[in-house]
């Protein structure tokens, strides 16, 4: 019996450590193109496999091409919100997008989280449509409350956001706008805001974190698909995949916004009022009342309201990813060792391994680093595709129309260079009734 027990135990151990890609499988055999994006662990303790670089485009500015790796789910949600702002404010300046995650995720210098592709730093809009080249500290004097709140509303749609970390003082400004100008109910305000229950109250989608969020909002997406896919593998398998995955991940080639309801109509949701609906479509409350023969101010969930102008444009909601890898080069960077730094910490910060840091700086295995010491680190930097190697894609762009019985899609096949595809992914405006 004793031998039988230990024999069974040994068999279980061997099964648990057998690689998912075959016994003794070579690292080159890992099917990265079929695996998809994996958000491993937690935002504050994890890493990213097959991270997707946020695509360049209109309506926003990326602060860094080396710190913008994430999941397709986050890309879809953020592009939706940006495009909706562009529709509502056609002449708006670009939105500044800060850090997402590093190409392989992991510990990120100056961030406690941003490790597994679920986080992004987003700048605020400034009054008078003033363009920003970087993140700027905001207050009641320079913050464009209306436009920034419109962006936040778009992000909050469909429950795709876990948290939005915003400075407590700015929360108060947005809270007052939502309550007094847009008529949010007390129930909605309690669900969305931490304010006015105190900085330490662990409630609300919009809440305070570790400070520094008066220059940007830190948005955390759920990314359920990327999280669920990562849970299919053991921790040792995930670490092995991260160590050998190719740099650059994949390239986003399409984007879109969800379709809306019947042509010329808005379906009232729970908690909505005339003020919020009029604000959404850029019309006045008086126009909305006249079009729908409303005498008072009462509307009910499920009610259809006619919208005769300012209708929301329709997009096809999908994000596609190719298997094309991004070319990269190495840029020499100097890192000054801070108190408490270890070689492992420094390697994780720059997405490299300890052995590489040792080799670049001629450090022995037992050599100790000291605060103030300068270390050389080679950081991978993305390059544009070579002209002769410009990848071509076949993608479907869709013309959409809304009929009384639902959404009708018509597909058109395009064969264009990847660098030109952004010219084909503009919103399709709905025709006025």
What pLDDT is attached to residue 142? Answer: 96
| Residue (of 413, 415, 420, 414) closest to 387 by Cα position | 420
In a domain, 11, yes or no: no
In a domain, 81, yes or no: yes
Give the predicted TM-score (pTM) of the model: 0.65
What pLDDT is attached to residue 48? Answer: 94
What pLDDT is attached to residue 43? Answer: 95
Q: Is the peptide bond before 329 cis (omega within 30 degrees of 0)?
A: no
Helix (H, G, I), strand (E, B) or coil at 36: coil
Residues 217, 259, 86, CA angle at the centre, nearest 5°?
45
8 Å CB contact between 116 and 42: yes
Other residues' Cβ atoms within 10 Å of the Cβ of residue 10: 10
Q: Please check the confidence at residue 305 and state whether its pLDDT lies above 90.
A: no
In a domain, 195, yes or no: yes
Q: Please check the confidence at residue 408 and state whether its pLDDT lies above 50.
A: no
168-176 and 145-156 helices cross at what angle (nearest 10)? 90
Question: Chain-wide mean pLDDT for the chain?
Answer: 76
What pLDDT is attached to residue 27? Answer: 52
Instruction: Compute the half-sphere exposure of residue 72: CA atoms within 13 Å on the CB side of its CA.
Output: 21
| Residue (of 309, 312, 306, 275) closest to 291 by Cα position | 306
Shared-domain flag, residues 213 and 347: no
Q: Please check the confidence at residue 327 and state whether its pLDDT lies above 70.
A: no
Provide the token pair at 10: 């040994």
Shared-domain flag, residues 178 and 280: no
Higher pLDDT, 224 or 334: 224
Instruction: Compute the half-sphere exposure of residue 320: CA atoms within 13 Å on the CB side of its CA.
Output: 13
The alpha helices in 315-374, defined as continuous H runs, are 343-350, 354-360
Mean pLDDT of 330-338: 77
In a domain, 144, yes or no: yes
8 Å CB contact between 341 and 313: no
- Three-class secondary structure assignment of 287-306: HHHHHHCCCCCCCCCCCEEE
Among the three residues 382, 398, 424, which one is the final residue of a domain in this structure? 382
Shared-domain flag, residues 143 and 67: yes
What pLDDT is attached to residue 215? Answer: 94
| Residue (of 156, 62, 74, 168) closest to 114 by Cα position | 74
Shared-domain flag, residues 205 and 299: no
Mean pLDDT of 339-347: 82
What pLDDT is attached to residue 11? Answer: 53
Shared-domain flag, residues 213 and 272: no
Q: Please check the confidence at residue 422 and state whether its pLDDT lies above 60.
A: no
Band (pLDDT 50/70/90 cuts) for residue 94 is very high
What pLDDT is attached to residue 412? Answer: 37
Higher pLDDT, 315 or 377: 377
Higher pLDDT, 248 or 334: 334
CATH number of the domain within which 136 lies: 3.30.1380.10
Provide the token pair at 38: 């994996």
Mean pLDDT of 133-141: 92
Provide the token pair at 165: 């970390």
Q: Please check the confidence at residue 31 and state whether its pLDDT lies above 80.
A: no
Shared-domain flag, residues 189 and 61: yes
Shared-domain flag, residues 300 and 217: no
What pLDDT is attached to residue 385? Answer: 45
In a domain, 427, yes or no: no
Shared-domain flag, residues 50 and 185: yes
8 Å CB contact between 302 and 346: no
In a domain, 410, yes or no: no
Distance CA 433, CA 333 (A): 58
Residue for token pair 């209708």? 311
Shared-domain flag, residues 51 and 156: yes
Shared-domain flag, residues 297 and 341: no
Band (pLDDT 50/70/90 cuts) for residue 28 is low
Q: Please check the confidence at residue 290 and state whether its pLDDT lies above 70.
A: yes
Shared-domain flag, residues 333 and 297: no
What pLDDT is attached to residue 397? Answer: 36
In a domain, 241, yes or no: no
Higher pLDDT, 262 or 148: 148
What pLDDT is attached to residue 226? Answer: 93
Mean pLDDT of 27-48: 82
Q: Print the domain residue range for 290.
A: 265-306
In a domain, 198, yes or no: yes
What is the number of structural domains in the chain? 3
CATH number of the domain within which 371 lies: 3.10.350.10
Q: Please check the confidence at residue 390 and state whether its pLDDT lies above 70.
A: no
| Lowest mean pLDDT across 81-95, 168-182, 327-341 | 327-341
Burial readout 273-289 (b: 16 or more C-beta within 10 A, e: otherwise): bbbbbbbbbebeeeebb
Among the three residues 363, 382, 401, which one is the final residue of a domain in this structure? 382
Shared-domain flag, residues 204 and 346: no
Mean pLDDT of 285-293: 86
What is the greatest pairwise CA distance in the chain?
A: 85
Band (pLDDT 50/70/90 cuts) for residue 10 is low
């Amino acid at each position: 019996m004793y031998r039988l027990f230990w024999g069974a135990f040994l068999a279980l151990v061997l099964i648990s450590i057998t690689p998912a890609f075959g016994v003794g499988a070579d690292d080159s055999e890992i099917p990265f193109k079929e695996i998809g994006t994996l958000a491993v662990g937690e935002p504050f303790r994890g890493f990213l496999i097959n991270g997707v670089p946020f695509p360049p485009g209109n309506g926003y500015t990326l602060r860094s091409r080396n710190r913008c790796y994430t999941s397709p789910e986050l890309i879809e949600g953020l592009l939706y919100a940006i495009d909706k702002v562009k529709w509502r404010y056609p002449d708006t300046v670009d939105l500044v997008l800060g850090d997402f995650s590093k190409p392989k995720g992991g510990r990120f210098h100056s961030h406690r989280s941003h490790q597994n592709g679920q986080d992004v730093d987003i700048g605020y809009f400034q009054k008078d449509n003033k363009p920003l080249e970087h993140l700027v500290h905001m207050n009641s004097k320079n913050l464009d409350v209306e436009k920034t709140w419109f962006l936040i509303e778009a992000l909050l749609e469909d429950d795709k956001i876990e948290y939005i970390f915003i400075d407590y003082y700015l929360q108060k400004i947005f809270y007052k706008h939502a309550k007094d100008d847009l008529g949010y109910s007390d129930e909605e305000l309690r669900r969305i805001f931490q304010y006015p229950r105190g900085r330490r109250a662990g409630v609300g989608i919009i809440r305070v974190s570790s400070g520094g969020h008066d220059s940007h909002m830190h948005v955390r997406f759920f990314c359920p698909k990327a999280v669920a896919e990562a849970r299919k593998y053991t921790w040792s398998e995930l670490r092995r995949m991260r160590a050998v995955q190719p740099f650059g991940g994949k390239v986003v080639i399409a984007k879109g916004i969800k379709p809306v309801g019947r042509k010329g109509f808005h379906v009232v949701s729970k908690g909505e009022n005339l003020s919020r609906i009029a604000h959404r479509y850029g019309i006045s409350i008086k126009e909305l009342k006249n079009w729908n023969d409303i005498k008072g101010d009462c509307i009910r969930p499920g009610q259809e309201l006619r919208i005769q102008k300012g209708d929301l444009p329709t997009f096809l909601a999908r994000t596609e990813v190719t298997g094309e890898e991004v070319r990269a080069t190495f840029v020499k960077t100097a890192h000054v060792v801070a108190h408490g730094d270890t070689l492992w910490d420094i390697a994780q910060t720059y997405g490299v391994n300890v052995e590489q840091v040792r080799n670049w700086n001629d450090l022995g295995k037992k050599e100790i680093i000291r605060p103030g010491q300068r270390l050389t680190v080679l950081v991978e930097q993305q390059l544009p595709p070579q002209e002769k190697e410009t990848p071509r894609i076949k993608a479907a762009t869709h013309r959409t129309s809304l009929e009384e019985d639902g959404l009708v899609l018509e597909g058109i096949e395009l064969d264009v260079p990847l660098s030109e595809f952004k010219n084909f992914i503009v919103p399709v405006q709905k025709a006025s009734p």
